[in-house]
Structure formats: C-alpha cells, structure tokens
Amino acid sequence: MESLEQTVIQLRQKKKEAIQSKQNAENELRQLRSIEKRTSTGLHNVDKKIESEKEDVSDVSDNLARKNAQVESIQRLVSFAQDRINSEKEIIEQTEQEIEFAETPEEKQTAEARLRSLNNHLQELVSEIKIRQKTLK
C-alpha cells in the first residue's frame, strides 16, 4: 500500500512538474510570438521607410534633372539672344552709316525709322536676357 501511495505521490509530483513545464513552455511561446510580431512590425516599418526614402530620392532626382534641363534651355536662349544682340548692333552700325550717307531726305527718314525699330528690338533683347538671367538665380 505504501508503495502504491508513493507511486501516486510520485505521479502527482510528475504531473505537477509537467503542468509547470507546460506553462513555462506556453509563456515562452507567447513571449517569442510577441517578439516575432514586434520584429515583423519593425521590419515592415523599416521597409516602408526605405520605400518612402527611395521615392523621395527619385523625386529629388527628377526635380534636379528637370531643373538642369531648364537651366540649360535658359542658357541656350540667353546665348541665342546675345548672338542676336551682336548681329543687331552690326545692323545698327550699318543703318547709322546709311543715315550719314543718305542722299535724299526720304532715304534718311527710312533709315532713321529702321534705326529706331532696331534700337527697340535691341532693348527687348537686353531685357529678355536680364529676365532669363534672373530666372537662373
């Protein structure tokens, strides 16, 4: 009988240990799942941040490329306008000589009218260059 009682006591003790071991394993499993969930969430957040940063870099790169293209275009327009100014100045010099050597008053008036028109156009070109150079800044 004592042997049976001892066996019952031992089995109860083993059952108690098994229950305790099971509870410990369940607690550890819960903790691991919680850690896994936090890690997964953290990784997901990091992935989102990386994607967001990639989009920002792409946007900045696109804006920079667009700005560079715009600057190059404006520089070409300024260069073209400066070339036009130089040719207009040459034409103005020729027109001034025509005025100086005009043989009739009509020739002189026509040349003077053309000179005024050329000077106005020259001022427009100078103004255009100033505006475009301000845009570059």
Residue 58: predicted pLDDT = 94
Token pair 């260069």: residue: 79
- pLDDT tens sequence across 49-68: 999 999 999 999 999 999 99
Distance CA 73, CA 85 (A): 18
Secondary structure class of 137 (helix, strand, coil): coil
The DSSP result for 65-126, as a single string, is HHHHHHHHHHHHHHHHHHHHHHHHHHHHHHHHHHHHT-SSHHHHHHHHHHHHHHHHHHHHHH
Ordered by start, the domain boundaries in the chain are 2-136
- pLDDT tens sequence across 57-105: 999 999 999 999 999 999 999 999 999 999 999 999 999 998 888 889 9
